[in-house]
Amino acid sequence: MSYVFKLFAPLLYRGNKVECPVCEKSFSKFLSYGSEVAHRENVLCPYDLTLERHRLMWLYLKDESNFFTAPKLDVLHIAPEQCFIHKFKKQVNLNYLTGDLVSPIADIHFDLHSIPLEDNRFDVLFCNHVMEHVNDPLQCMKEIYRVMKPGGWAIMQVPQDMNREATYEDASIVTPEDREKHYWQKDHVRLFGRDYPRWLEKVGFKVEEFDLKKHYDSAKIERFRLMKDEVLYIFKKD
């Protein structure tokens, strides 16, 4: 999205019906977003391009964690989101490193199946909307577990179909059109179900669930345009 649009978005969508807690701007509405299969109205902030998942993660970090208040945290952010990266880089309490396979905004580049970093290094790790793309998610999860410090915690959001008990994978689904139909996006290779936390437990993580309905009333959920049934998982390494 162009700089010009970002500059004039607050004027084009002037209002006070919805609010983005990340950029702290209010609008008459958000933009629509998503493929034909997973299209959603009124979800994309026109200023910093946050979606529901970004705003939920930000609220958790601000209201429920020590991410902004701890004296010092070593942080690895895999596939860093543009709405977060510059804010996190400015935080003086973070030793902040970003990584990705190819992204030009990442500090280092690597394959998540084999992270070229030492064991027990990071207090906090973010890896959002990645596990639905990789060949072997369990191997990637093992690598993430390995580089985290004991006592560290991670947020690893994925598209999750809460109507499915088990994660859906089919090796015969290979075309972009079929992947979008079955997995919600053309470059996804699986669709996680309600069993997603069990995948992380297999490699050693302890799982905590942050249910936003227990922390925010319906008016706040609607104002921030969150997915009311979304659960944010916090994965902890003992």
Q: How confident is the model at residue 38 (pLDDT cuts 50, 70, 90)?
A: confident
Residue 6 above 80 pLDDT?
A: no
Give the angle subtended at the CA of 213 by the CAs of 212 and 218, to the nearest 5°.
115
Residue 10 above 80 pLDDT?
A: no
Q: Quick count: other Cβ atoms within 10 Å of Cβ 209?
A: 10
Look at strands 206-211 and 94-100 and give their pairing: unpaired
pLDDT, tens digit, 9 for 90 and up, residues 175-204? 999 999 999 999 999 999 999 999 999 999
* CATH class of residue range 51-236: alpha beta
Q: What sign does the dihedral 82-84-89-95 (CA atoms) show?
A: negative
Can you tell me whether residue 199 is helix, strand or coil?
Answer: helix
How many CA atoms lie less than 13 Å away from 105 in the CB half-sphere? 11
Task: For tokens 């290094």, name the residue.
Answer: 121
**Exposure of 225 by Cβ count < 10 A (0-12 exposed, 13-18 middle, 19+ buried)?**
buried
Report CA Rg, the chain: 18
The residue ranges of every structural domain in the chain are 51-236
Q: State how far the Cα of 183 lies from the Cα of 208, in Å rounded to an integer.
A: 26
Amino acid at site 70: A
> pTM of the entire structure?
0.92
% pLDDT > 70, the chain: 95
